[in-house]
Structure 1
Amino acid sequence: MPLNPADDIFAQALSTILPPDSVRPSEPRHLEEPRGRWQGCSSWVALPRSTEEVSKIVKTCGAKQVGIIPYGGGTGLVGGQVAPKGPAPLLLSLERMTAIRAVHPLENVATVEAGAILADVQSAALNAQRLFPLSLASEGSARIGGLLSTNAGGTNVLRYGNARDLVLGLEAVLPDGKIWNGLKRLRKDNTGYDLRHLLLGAEGTLGIITAASLKLFPRPSTVGTALLTVPSPQAALSLLAMARDRMGDTVTGFELMNRTGFDFLSECLPDIRQPWKQAPEWTVLIEISLPTGLSPQDALEEIFAEGFEQELVTDGLIAQSLAQAQSFWDMREHIPSANRAIGAISSHDISVPLSLLPDFIERAGMALADLGDFRINCFGHLGDGNLHYNVFPPKGRDRALCNDRRDAIKTCIHDLVHALDGSISAEHGIGRFKIDDLERYGDPAKLAAMRAIKTALDPTGIMNPGAVLR
């Protein structure tokens, strides 16, 4: 069934059933995605203040056959929040629904609205002497609804899991406008199909998350951070195994970084302090979190000593203060900003089985060398097998002159990932940018089931049309 545009007449009709100032013309920020690849075509945005208002909006869009794009913080990198073509959809922004509804320290649960910014949820947990462990570079602007709808990853997946692993219950508006009151705080609930996990990661195509009950954790008493130089990705992988054998789940972060990333920081963000004159070829950033009475510095020194003895580590720095630890993380978290400043020809968010990561890095580099002269910035969450493998033009060459190589580069990388039984979207989702890739590499039975679910729940196709499924 064809969709209708969210035009001026529709916006005026919608305004009559909502409080004043709930429907506005969209702003440029609503129509841009961070990499500047696509420009959205919507002209109106709805700004509800409650779940009931979201329900009214969805029911009206269903009746008028108008598409809806849920809008969070706008930080998504696969185009899930922008529609560059087709009948102009209504943007539904949850930026006014920011309440921390309740924090239950004894239960280790916080109930928050979908528009809450991640950093504010972290602060609310901290005020209750608890930890909400989801952490990523955009946490100062990314909103909970978008993070859950894309099943965000981040730097703590190694210990705490992806976003879906941090959710006990959801409140959501389904495509027919009905409100699902699923905000339970239960750890065990075997009462039929799990709608929670169906909506988590669905990118707004099956409903709109309006609130969530999130898992909290005890705050670690002490945290230790170190930068360790390793001779190769294989050595880094062996170091991770050794550290986890020794420290178990207290290893909360293990990030792999290549010299190219540090060169980009020096080139574009010279204010980001680096602790060396010449960056090493490969570095890992390791973080451990320990209970009271244990010293993370001692533990990291033991890991370094054993790693050095096994020739897995050649040098290293153990942070001696919170400020120094933060400076280490600042380097890691600003690498994506430096990447954007340089301008990638093709960016890839991939995962492969952990033991095959070194093989992927070697084979991908060789395959790209056959395609041309490129700079490769390979970095990411080694602990959970997720790499950000980004390809750039040679220094001094304009990216625009290499754009004709983008498809060949992407195909080269994704074919290799698929051959290694990996994923072409580890943590960013499918959005609109990766629909072709999902169709090419996705399992046919899974795609058929996804289409059947979409048709059953959203038969008129109004929920984020054109995202995830064509």
Structure 2
Amino acid sequence: MRDRDTFRSAAAELLGPRGFTYDKDLVEPWLTDWRGRYTGKAVGLASPGSTDEVSRFVKLCSAYGVPIVPQGGNSGMSGGATPDDGGDSVILSLRRMNTIRELDVAAQQVTCGAGVVLQTLHEAAEAEGLRFPLTLGGKGSATIGGLVSTNAGGTQVLRHGTMRAQVLGLESVLADGSVFSNLVPLKKDNRGFDLKQLLIGSEGTLGIVTAATLRLVPQTAQRRVAWIGLSSISRARELLLHCEKRAGDALEGFEVLPHHCLQSVLAHLPDSRSPLSNDHGWYALVELVAEATEADAIDGLAEDVLHSAMERDLIEDAVISASEAQAEAFWLLRESISPAERAIGPAMQHDISVPVARMAEFVETASPEIEKRFPGTTAIGFGHLGDGNIHYHVLAPPSAVQGEWEMTDGKIISAFVHDLVTEFGGSISAEHGIGQMKRDELSRLGDPVALGLMRTIKQALDPQGILNPGKLVPLAPDAPTP
């Protein structure tokens, strides 16, 4: 880059002491992703407080040719917010832009800055009798800008869709510093391309999200959560179809996990216990919700769904939450799977999706094949069966050395899993994004026409290549390695 010291001085003058620093102790915590897989270097940390400051800072970076790595809560799963080790990039944190600009109760929508934390948004909506219908385990740190940029999912996608479905309007700073402002939502707008959809899920490679207008929905008055024992994931698929038919829009979530996952969680969580008295091969976590006008019918609906499923021999046993505390306890078992599995030892973790109708077939085909091909491993799938997104983990043999196994056998295993997913017509990234972790695999397995379009769009919107370089968009086959 041109004259690092001059750039730093110009950035400090532009953003002030709160807005720019290159103090090692202040920058270092943001150089590593939260999973500890990627660590980079940076020329500094920029923390603008407004869209105008972001715009002017991006223009400065463009003038000096400084690559920009946008960062929200730094809670991504694919290394998408971590700079490389070259030391020429600047981290652009949106955390100071944490104002909820407007919450319109009548319109059921909210406009907020990119740095608003998801849990804060939940609390603001709940205070007005509304809710934001997307949640995930990292809600205490994940920011709206990051969720938009990665098109985040979560446990409510079955009913409400991914982050893409929640975004009504968007504000974003482009690579030349110009501001794309489309925060006012219109039910009908036929003026050409829906440009906000291009920016959603682009992981900061096409523009830096600075604000979003999001949809809200009425708060649920009642919910019932059922923990269900099943013989197989195929039975879980049948149960899902049954619940969709019987419960309709009341079906908010449908998660599955094998017995291995439950055992791991029970060993990991103090004072936890299995909701059912007997063990089962698989479990389903089913959530039904009702708004105020239908709250009195929720118990009858839950009992009808489970009773009719039992009559059809779809389930082996079940229990319905008797209180909100018990419902939370059921969900805690589901949300603790990843940390519980990590405590066991090394594992290759895959965020995949296949067509919903083929997910059971995929798990039943892939798991024995992987365990046979890679002796000593344990292959498990758990997660959002209702939207075809399974978190597919392959646990290392007991003798594996952490750090070594992932870089050797682990990489071979992941490539094999991704090959199987592709054969099933699926995606190697369902909700965690591509980042830097899966960019090479996307290049290897992606549709050449789609990859070419991505490169063309990237070149058109960011000709200098300064927005989050090395993430998401694979290099052209003949391009030199940066």
- Residues 181-220 of structure 1 mapped to structure 2, 5 A cutoff: 181-220=181-220
Query: Which residue of structure 2 aligns with residue 419 of structure 1?
Result: 423
2:365 corresponds to 1:368? no
Q: How many residues align?
A: 467
Q: Identity across aligned pairs (percent)?
A: 42
2:454 alignment partner AA:
M
Contact 2:151 2:163 in 1 (8 A): yes
- Separation (CA, whole Å) in 1 of partners of 2:3 and 2:124: 37
Query: Which residue of structure 1 aligns with residue 459 of structure 2?
Result: 455
Secondary structure of the 1:402 match is: coil
Comparing 444-453 with 77-86, which one deviates more in the overlay?
77-86
- Separation (CA, whole Å) in 2 of partners of 1:128 and 1:462: 41
- Separation (CA, whole Å) in 2 of partners of 1:449 and 1:71: 25
- Separation (CA, whole Å) in 1 of partners of 2:21 and 2:351: 35
TM-score, normalised relative to structure 1? 0.96
1:89 alignment partner AA:
S
Contact 1:392 1:399 in 2 (8 A): no
Query: Which residue of structure 2 aligns with residue 81 of structure 1?
Result: 81
TM-score, normalised relative to structure 2? 0.93
2:121 corresponds to 1:117? no
Q: Displacement of 1:239 after TM fit?
A: 0.5
Query: Which residue of structure 1 aligns with residue 411 of structure 2?
Result: 407
- Separation (CA, whole Å) in 2 of partners of 1:259 and 1:8: 57
Deviations along 1:124-175, one digit per CA (max 9) or x if unpaired, are 1111111101110000110000000000000000000000100010011111
Secondary structure of the 1:76 match is: coil
Comparing 164-173 with 369-378, which one deviates more in the overlay?
369-378
- Residues 351-366 of structure 1 mapped to structure 2, 5 A cutoff: 351-366=353-368
Contact 1:109 1:185 in 2 (8 A): no
- Separation (CA, whole Å) in 1 of partners of 2:259 and 2:28: 36
2:253 corresponds to 1:253? yes
Comparing 7-16 with 53-62, which one deviates more in the overlay?
7-16
Query: Which residue of structure 1 aligns with residue 126 of structure 2?
Result: 126
Q: Displacement of 1:441 after TM fit?
A: 1.3
- Separation (CA, whole Å) in 2 of partners of 1:402 and 1:54: 42
Q: Displacement of 1:399 after TM fit?
A: 3.4
Q: Is the alpha carbon distance of 1:272 and 1:148 closer, same or farther for their aligned partners in structure 2, counting shifts above 3 Å?
A: farther
Question: Which of 372, 383, 392 is matched with 2:386 structurally?
Answer: 383
Secondary structure of the 1:220 match is: coil
- Separation (CA, whole Å) in 2 of partners of 1:287 and 1:375: 29
Query: Which residue of structure 1 aligns with residue 446 of structure 2?
Result: 442
Question: Which of 461, 464, 470 is matched with 1:466 structurally?
Answer: 470
Q: Displacement of 1:339 after TM fit?
A: 2.8
Secondary structure of the 1:242 match is: helix
- Separation (CA, whole Å) in 1 of partners of 2:375 and 2:178: 53
Q: Is the alpha carbon distance of 1:91 and 1:167 closer, same or farther for their aligned partners in structure 2, counting shifts above 3 Å?
A: same
Gaps of 5+ in 1: none
Q: Is the alpha carbon distance of 1:246 and 1:277 closer, same or farther for their aligned partners in structure 2, counting shifts above 3 Å?
A: closer
Contact 1:262 1:279 in 2 (8 A): no
- Separation (CA, whole Å) in 2 of partners of 1:440 and 1:252: 36
Comparing 375-384 with 143-152, which one deviates more in the overlay?
375-384
Gaps of 5+ in 2: 476-482
- Separation (CA, whole Å) in 1 of partners of 2:400 and 2:13: 54
2:16 corresponds to 1:12? no
Query: Which residue of structure 2 aligns with residue 21 of structure 1?
Result: 18
Query: Which residue of structure 1 aligns with residue 478 of structure 2?
Result: none
Q: Displacement of 1:185 after TM fit?
A: 2.5
- Separation (CA, whole Å) in 1 of partners of 2:395 and 2:360: 20
- Separation (CA, whole Å) in 2 of partners of 1:209 and 1:5: 27
Contact 2:12 2:21 in 1 (8 A): no
Q: Displacement of 1:244 after TM fit?
A: 0.7
1:160 alignment partner AA:
H
Contact 2:276 2:317 in 1 (8 A): no
Contact 1:228 1:315 in 2 (8 A): yes
- Separation (CA, whole Å) in 2 of partners of 1:43 and 1:389: 37
- Separation (CA, whole Å) in 2 of partners of 1:189 and 1:39: 43
> Cα RMSD over matched residues?
1.7
Secondary structure of the 2:380 match is: strand
Contact 1:344 1:390 in 2 (8 A): no
2:416 alignment partner AA:
C
Question: Which of 395, 399, 402 is matched with 1:392 structurally?
Answer: 395
- Separation (CA, whole Å) in 1 of partners of 2:281 and 2:44: 48
Q: Displacement of 1:395 after TM fit?
A: 4.5
- Separation (CA, whole Å) in 2 of partners of 1:248 and 1:49: 44
Contact 2:276 2:319 in 1 (8 A): no
